[in-house]
Structure 1
Amino acid sequence: MERMIIFCMLFFCSSMVLTATPHKAMKYKQLLKTIDQLKDVVKDKDAELLHTPENPVDECLFTAVTCFQKGTLKLQPKNSQVNSTFIKTVNILKRPILKDSGKQCESTCESYEKKNPKEFLQSFSKLMKKVTIRVDSFCLFFDVL
């Protein structure tokens, strides 16, 4: 009887994880599309250079994403025709993306090299792909169970 109760609890918990995880993976994939849209409408010439995290360690993912979010607020549209698209896209990227893991990160946003807006967005996209792959592999792990 105890084994049956434990099995049922395990089954219930794993099914809950399976329903939550694909939603996150889809959210991160949508954020990747949003970043790619922003690449086309951002001013790159005569623009402010932005701190650009590259290859952050796992403990620093939250700090890196937060740095990118702050940097997107400094971006400017390349012309007035794309202004409404630009504003909508930046507003999407202002929303919380990752939860703070609580782990201490040695790096600060200011410790990263400054790059132009296109390179900044390319690095942001690369980081979000890394996060998406981790979430997808987590989903695959639970699909095997």
Structure 2
Amino acid sequence: MERMIIFCVLFFCSSMVLTATPQKAMKYKQLVKTIGQLEEVVKDKDVEFLHTPENPVDECLFTAVTCFQNGTLKLQPKNSQVNSKFIKTVNILKRPILKDSGKQCESTCESYEKKSPKEFLKSFSKLMKKVINQSYRKSTI
């Protein structure tokens, strides 16, 4: 009877480990939410358009994320009422997100088309979702 209980506990624990979301994926999901919050408070009219990486190849993910991070520093808040939320959100996105893979990327940030701040943030969110999918694939291999 004891063996059966121990077996059930071990089986339950191992199945929980396999279904647990990797810590990095959770971090990236939180960043996607943060980007969504920034979309709500960013100024989108009469502003500088930003280089917006779209569908970068895997070797260029680090470069693309860095491009987005640098671009967020050029964003402006909608108005003074949302300024503190805007600053807090931008500061979260300034933190390192990906490690440099060391792979050579042929495209630079300036090689991408410039888009409005809202389109820029939507593309940033899309890229982070791609990074989440990759982190899931790596954790299941």
TM range (shorter): 0.7 to 0.9
- The aligned residue for residue 104 of structure 1 is 104
- The TM-score normalised by the length of structure 1 is 0.82
Q: CA deviation at 1:64?
A: 0.2
Instruction: Indicate the SS of the match to 1:92.
Output: helix
Give, as a single letter, the amino acid of the residue that structure 2 aligns with 1:133: N
Q: CA deviation at 1:136?
A: 1.9
- The aligned residue for residue 87 of structure 1 is 87
- The aligned residue for residue 32 of structure 2 is 32
Question: CA–CA distance in 1 between the matches of 2:41 and 2:48?
Answer: 15
Give, as a single letter, the amino acid of the residue that structure 1 aligns with 2:64: A
Question: CA–CA distance in 2 between the matches of 1:25 and 1:115?
Answer: 27
Q: How many residues align?
A: 124
| Runs of 4 or more above 6 Å deviation | none
Question: CA–CA distance in 1 between the matches of 2:45 and 2:71?
Answer: 16
Question: CA–CA distance in 2 between the matches of 1:88 and 1:136?
Answer: 28
> Which ranges in structure 2 are unaligned for 5 or more consecutive residues?
1-17
| Structure 1 vs Structure 2 CA RMSD | 1.7
Give, as a single letter, the amino acid of the residue that structure 2 aligns with 1:55: N
- The TM-score normalised by the length of structure 2 is 0.84
Question: CA–CA distance in 2 between the matches of 1:94 and 1:24?
Answer: 17
